[in-house]
Amino acid sequence: MTQPLDINAVSAHYGTTRVLQDLSLSIQAGELVSLLGASGCGKTTTLRLIAGFLSPTSGSISLGGRDLTRLPPHRRDIGLVFQNYALFPHLSVLDNVAFGLKQRGIAPADRRRRAFAMLERVGLTALAERAPGALSGGQKQRVALARALVIEPPLLMFDEPLSNLDARLRVDMRVEIRQLQRANGTTSVYVTHDQEEAFSISDRVAIMNAGRLMQFGQPEVLYRRPANTFVARFVGFENIIPFKAVARDNGTVTVETAGMRLRLPQDAFGAIPDTFLLATRPDGLMVSTDPAADGLPARLGLRTYLGRAYQYRCDTAAGHLIANGMLTTPLEPGANVQLVPVPEQCCILASEEAQG
Amino acid sequence: MSDRPHPILIGIAALVYLFLVVPLVIVVGAALSDTTYLTFPPRGLSLRWFENIFQISAFRRTIVTSLQIASLGTLFALMIGIPAAYALNRFRVELPRWIATLFVLPILVPEIVFGFALLKSLTVGAGVPIFAALLIGHTLLVLPYVVRVIGASLASFDFSIEEAAISLGSAPLKTFFTIVLPNVRAGVLAAFILAFITSLNDVSVSLFLTGPGISTLPIQILAHVEQFFDPTVASVSVLLMFLTVAVMAVVERTLGLTFLAK
């Protein structure tokens, strides 16, 4: 039942504005893939292209080997869950869920039984005869989920399904969605702007920006090994410092930025090109009061309390950097320190020019 | 403290009802008068002036014509106006703004000018038969109401509901009838009532488009008043009021006016 989805070099335009550029994505059968990005990045456009509500200007989309590109949306057999639920206000909860089965010519008794069974899975049998207007946000989204799942689609798509729910419910619902999706093994595309949401429930995440795919991979890979500065900033590498390698010897590379020199162990950092960007999270810069430490000299600025650490804004010759320091030794603004890169919390990126 | 409204409020409300109802009471009273001239309060009670309406063949004919024109004109206006209102809302971003304005032009242009323009173009210019010209005129006259009222309903309609239905396998045209239309039925109903009553009561456009042998009830009332001063005109006015109320009653019975308030 479950099928792979292939998006092949798809571009799309609104009038003359290009909103999607050469997007290619291969989603395996049974996988849950999130499209993640700020509004206007092309994630919803992609979803609408797959659903058939928009036509691509070039490229093709296929589901389980079946070319969807020229197929009208009502024949694509895709389950959709909308941000605003989009329940039919004039139909009861049960009839909402049974709607897709009715379109498939299933006999009344049979579709009633199947819709009811689906409502049972989302725990809403008690509300079967209610009108959707009488339901809470979470209940509405469960009905929408049941309505999309009951047709047993080869592909399930979610368009910011949790945005209208409050924070607690969002976490509960996303776990519920993931469990249902896992149990059915339905290939799924999940559109969201919430990084935590995307990373927590996806097999793989596609990070998008300005109509282009920035990086596609497992959450762990995106989080630890961003491929470019956009993704790096997106996943919290707040410091991005340009370096030049000036000397290499005995497994250490001496690098320089804004007149400051630093020795990096080659094994820990992997290949170090001649020019590169060093991206670190605030945790990736250790605040050291030892003047002999091999780090970037910095003067501490504003200190904020994060609960698990203190965070400092630091002035260096390379500009403002953000570093986290231990709770046991709070430091005062104005102190002179060394910021030492922690290899496991850093990542080396090609320089901006090389990224294109 | 009780929740009784303020006495001044009650007074003003009473005045409004008085101004609305008193003229109607006078007309109904005059229609029931046994005299051969219009008078109020009625002297004697008689239904003979109602009987008289049906003895004057011009009234008989024009009542039928008016009902035909109002029903067909409203029907045509709905057939054009519903898809138009849908397209104007569904493709609000894509369509140029002047198209929406086009559909309200018949209201913006003074009715008398509109009627004259139709006379020049349809009856004189294109030689359209009188009944057909009246029908076209009334269709155009009520079209803006249909487009505006149903458009207002569609403006609050969430089109992702339509997309949900389509994604579940319902063809677009079928979706329009099973999902979109049931959710804007209040607007359709309001548009129907407004259009039917506007058409039934229209004078200015009909004045130009009626011709030898074919006229509408309001025009016939005007013609009658010019020649006679008997209570027939009052009784026929009551009849016109009754027709309007009947339309509302039928709607109330079949669909419920509560839909209008939705």
**pLDDT tier at B105 (50, 70, 90 boundaries)?**
confident
- Report chain B residues whose CB lies below 8 A from the CB of A144: 164
The pLDDT of residue B5 is 82
pTM: 0.82
Say yes or no: A147 contacts chain B, CB-CB below 8 A: yes
Q: Which residue of B has its CA nearest to A76?
A: B167
CATH 2.60.40.10 fits A5-233, yes or no: no
Q: Which residue of A has its CA nearest to B163?
A: A53
Residue A33 to chain B, least CA–CA distance (Å) = 20
- Which residue(s) pair with A27 in the sheet? A5
The pLDDT of residue B262 is 44
- Report chain A residues whose CB lies below 8 A from the CB of B160: 82, 84, 86
Share of chain A above pLDDT 70, in %: 99
Q: How far apart are CA B102 and CA B105, in angstroms?
A: 5
The pLDDT of residue A354 is 65
- Report chain B residues whose CB lies below 8 A from the CB of A99: 165, 168, 170
Say yes or no: A97 contacts chain B, CB-CB below 8 A: no
Q: How far apart are CA A332 and CA A225, in angstroms?
A: 33
Give residue limits of the domains in chain A. 5-233, 234-355
The pLDDT of residue A351 is 83
pLDDT tens by residue, A141-176: 999 999 999 999 999 999 999 988 888 899 999 999
Q: DSSP assignment of chain B, as one string?
A: ---PPPHHHHHHHHHHHHHHHHHHHHHHHHHTB-SSS--SS-SSB--HHHHHHHHSHHHHHHHHHHHHHHHHHHHHHHHHHHHHHHHHHHTTTTS-HHHHHHTTHHHHS-HHHHHHHHIIIIIIIS---HHHHHHHHHHHHHHHHHHHHHHHHHHTS-HHHHHHHHHTT--HHHHIIIIIHHHTHHHHHHHHHHHHHHHHH--HHHHHH-BTTB--HHHHHHHHHHH--STHHHHHHHHHHHHHHHHHHHHHHHT-THHHH-
Radius of gyration of chain B (CA): 22
State the average pLDDT over residues A45-54.
Answer: 95
- Report chain A residues whose CB lies below 8 A from the CB of B166: 53, 73-74
CA distances from B107 to B103, B144, B148, B217 (A): 9, 7, 11, 22
Q: Please, what is the end-to-end C-alpha distance for chain B in angstroms?
A: 32
Tokens 């910021």 belong to A339
Which one of A82, A86, A104 has the shortest CB-CB distance to B169?
A104
Burial class (CB in 10 A: 0-12, 13-18, 19+), A107: exposed
pLDDT tens by residue, A105-139: 999 999 999 999 999 999 999 999 999 999 999 99
The pLDDT of residue A239 is 94
Domains assigned to chain B: 52-261 (1.10.3720.10)
Residue A15 to chain B, least CA–CA distance (Å) = 9
Query: What tokens appear for B5 in the block?
Result: 């409204």
The kind and range of the H/E element at A139 are helix A137-149
Q: Are the Cβ atoms of B160 and A147 closer than 8 angstroms?
A: no
The pLDDT of residue B2 is 59
Angle between helix axes A137-149 and A108-121 (nearest 10 degrees) is 130
pLDDT tens by residue, B234-246: 888 888 888 888 8
Q: Which residue of B has its CA nearest to A72?
A: B171
Which one of A74, A84, A90 has the shortest CB-CB distance to B169?
A74
Q: How far apart are CA A240 and CA A348, in angstroms?
A: 9
Say yes or no: A78 contacts chain B, CB-CB below 8 A: yes
Q: Are the Cβ atoms of A103 and B169 closer than 8 angstroms?
A: yes
- Report chain B residues whose CB lies below 8 A from the CB of A95: none
Query: What tokens appear for B168 in the block?
Result: 């579940």
Low-confidence winner among A42-46, A107-111, B119-123 (lowest mean pLDDT): B119-123
List residues of chain B with CB under 8 Å from any CB of chain A.
Answer: 158, 160-161, 163-172, 175, 179, 182-183
Backbone angles phi and psi of A77, in degrees to 5: 65, 50
| Closest C-alpha among A348, A355, A349, A340 to residue A269 | A348
Higher pLDDT among residues B243 and A324, named by residue: A324
Choose, out of A82, A111, A160, the residue to mutate when testing the contact with B (most B CBs < 10 Å): A82
| Closest C-alpha among A13, A40, A57, A20 to residue A212 | A20
Radius of gyration of chain A (CA): 25
The β-bridge relationship of strands A58-63 and A5-14 is antiparallel
Say yes or no: A151 contacts chain B, CB-CB below 8 A: yes
Low-confidence winner among A116-120, B49-53, B129-133, B149-153 (lowest mean pLDDT): B49-53
Contact between residue A207 and residue A225 where contact means Cβ atoms under 8 Å apart:
no
CA distances from A331 to A299, A314, A321, A340 (A): 11, 12, 16, 16
CB atoms within 10 A of CB A152: 18
Higher pLDDT among residues A347 and B262, named by residue: A347
pLDDT of B258 over the 60 cut: no
Choose, out of B162, B166, B168, the residue to mutate when testing the contact with A (most A CBs < 10 Å): B168
Which one of B166, B182, B183 has the shortest CB-CB distance to A74?
B166
Which one of A75, A76, A90 has the shortest CB-CB distance to B183?
A90
Low-confidence winner among A295-299, B83-87, B249-253 (lowest mean pLDDT): B249-253
pLDDT tens by residue, B191-206: 998 899 899 989 989 9
CA A153 to chain centre: 23
Q: Are the Cβ atoms of A73 and B167 closer than 8 angstroms?
A: yes
pLDDT of B32 over the 80 cut: yes
The pLDDT of residue B87 is 93
Q: Are the Cβ atoms of A151 and B168 closer than 8 angstroms?
A: yes
Sign of the alpha-carbon torsion through B8, B9, B10, B14:
positive
Share of chain B above pLDDT 70, in %: 96
State chain A's mean pLDDT as an integer: 92
State the average pLDDT over residues B157-176.
Answer: 94
Q: How far apart are CA B131 and CA B73, in angstroms?
A: 11
The β-bridge relationship of strands A187-192 and A204-209 is unpaired
pLDDT tens by residue, B170-181: 999 999 999 999
State the average pLDDT over residues B148-171.
Answer: 93
The pLDDT of residue A268 is 84
CATH 3.40.50.2000 fits A234-355, yes or no: no
Q: DSSP assignment of B164-178, as one string?
A: HHHHTT--HHHHIII
- Report chain B residues whose CB lies below 8 A from the CB of A55: none
The pLDDT of residue A249 is 86
Residue A344 to chain B, least CA–CA distance (Å) = 46
Q: Are the Cβ atoms of A82 and B166 closer than 8 angstroms?
A: no
Which one of A53, A90, A103 has the shortest CB-CB distance to B168?
A103
pLDDT of A73 over the 80 cut: yes
Q: Are the Cβ atoms of A87 and B161 closer than 8 angstroms?
A: yes
Say yes or no: A55 contacts chain B, CB-CB below 8 A: no
Q: Which residue of B has its CA nearest to A90?
A: B183
Dihedral through CA A325, CA A327, CA A329, CA A330, nearest 10? Answer: 80
